[in-house]
Structure 1
């Protein structure tokens, strides 16, 4: 295992140093193993590990390549892990998203102009005419992504998008079960756009933080109700 970890570390260093670049083909296995002073088995294990986290891509019959290394691609493995955890873990995901999105929104506000503000208002208006949960969730995803895209930090934007995508089921569940969730979400979005239009970055960040916190509180309450129901069922 130590040799495999050494191989992983060495390959990662070659990438971070620029010796291997996005999209570049790695040297043939025999050549690379000799270069690193490792057995071919250790090298293969390292390549498998880096393939799992989307750092490397093995193309059968063509060789092994460094991926594009785009943030969205690298975050896919983490996205999968959040998908398979329970409500308690989902609360941790929501809390992380709340903290990150507060900063991302405050960073984005100075760069959002009238055209984008008009798009945000149009997005809200597109849902106001009908209380369809699917339309609301779609609007919610696109609304937040549009704002975050102006934060100036592609990695943060991709991370928030990844975390947001993993809470999609919870937000749909809330829309179906909590009375007034559609109106509440749209009202909070309107407040957020008003703050952005006024150029008040701190207020906008505070509003989005409270907005996400509302979903957290609902999820926590729903989880407690489910636990109580499970106890009653098995008692």
Structure 2
């Protein structure tokens, strides 16, 4: 094991054992290096790694601090996994399970403000779909905004953070670039059904609707992996009802 890894694990241990609390400033470099039994160079490398992990925050001219250790901060590095090219089937299966649970919880806990956010995302989707040249970037952003609103509405910060990390911003945009003609109206309809179940405060139906939506997404991902990009063709017959 490298000395850098030793530093990472030792600082994590200090936090877990209460020697360092969220928001605490780390001791001076010379003092901490001596305490951990490492060189100052190894300490700097370890601190840099901990900053990347979201555990520490370097403040220019003011030292290094333990972050608030918020789930969203600590889970953010997972986003790289979601954006890697390749087979996303296993990752999608995990995300589908979490999205389904989030929808059920949202039916119990979602606030009026979060419902309004989800509705605004649906409105953005509708506007993008009826544009002469639908913008895949806008569709991807609206898709992400809807799922974030539902995840936040679950009332579970860890679940919301996991879903945000697994959202796959770049991968999602690639999918919309290739498949928005096929995915757009179906996604709009699925999202509407999920939100209707949530606002009816029906957790079972909300889970069912989200599960059905995630199966449809899985089918579309299979299409793009086996058939290549979908032809750039738009069907007016599939415009969302709210946009007609």
Scaled by the length of structure 1, the TM-score of the pair is 0.81
Quick one: structure 1 residues 102 and 40, their matched pair in 2 at CA, closer, same or farther if it must change by over 3 Å?
same
Please point out which of 177, 182, 192 is paired with 1:173: 177
Counterparts of 1:56 and 1:209, CA distance in 2: 37
| Preserved contact between residue 174 and residue 218 of structure 1 (Cα < 8 Å) | no
Deviation at 1:25, TM superposition (A): 1.5
Match of 1:104 in 2: 102
| Preserved contact between residue 170 and residue 219 of structure 1 (Cα < 8 Å) | no
Deviation at 1:154, TM superposition (A): 0.9
- Provide the alpha-carbon RMSD of the alignment: 2.6
Cα deviations by residue, 1:163-193 (Å, 9 ceiling, x for unpaired): 1143322441244353xx2221111112112
1:191 correspondence with 2:197: no
Counterparts of 1:40 and 1:113, CA distance in 2: 49
Counterparts of 2:54 and 2:128, CA distance in 1: 41
Deviation at 1:92, TM superposition (A): 2.9
State how 1:32-181 maps to structure 2 within 5 Å.
32-83=32-83, 85-88=84-87, 90-112=88-110, 116-117=114-115, 120-121=118-119, 123-129=121-127, 131=129, 132-133=134-135, 134-166=137-169, 167-178=171-182, 181=183
Quick one: structure 1 residues 23 and 225, their matched pair in 2 at CA, closer, same or farther if it must change by over 3 Å?
same
| Preserved contact between residue 114 and residue 197 of structure 1 (Cα < 8 Å) | no
Counterparts of 2:4 and 2:116, CA distance in 1: 53
SS of residue in 1 equivalent to 2:188 = helix
Q: Which runs of 5+ in 2 are unaligned?
A: 230-244
Structure that is richer in helix per residue: 1
Aligned residues: 223
Greater CA drift, 201-210 or 120-129: 120-129
Counterparts of 1:4 and 1:119, CA distance in 2: 43
Q: Which runs of 5+ in 1 are unaligned?
A: 228-235
Quick one: structure 1 residues 6 and 174, their matched pair in 2 at CA, closer, same or farther if it must change by over 3 Å?
same
Match of 2:20 in 1: 20
| Preserved contact between residue 82 and residue 167 of structure 2 (Cα < 8 Å) | no
Match of 2:232 in 1: none
Counterparts of 1:199 and 1:116, CA distance in 2: 14
Quick one: structure 1 residues 117 and 81, their matched pair in 2 at CA, closer, same or farther if it must change by over 3 Å?
closer
Q: Runs of at least 4 residues of structure 1 off by over 6 A?
A: none
Greater CA drift, 118-127 or 32-41: 118-127
Scaled by the length of structure 2, the TM-score of the pair is 0.78
| Preserved contact between residue 140 and residue 176 of structure 2 (Cα < 8 Å) | yes
Match of 2:209 in 1: 207
Deviation at 1:70, TM superposition (A): 2.4
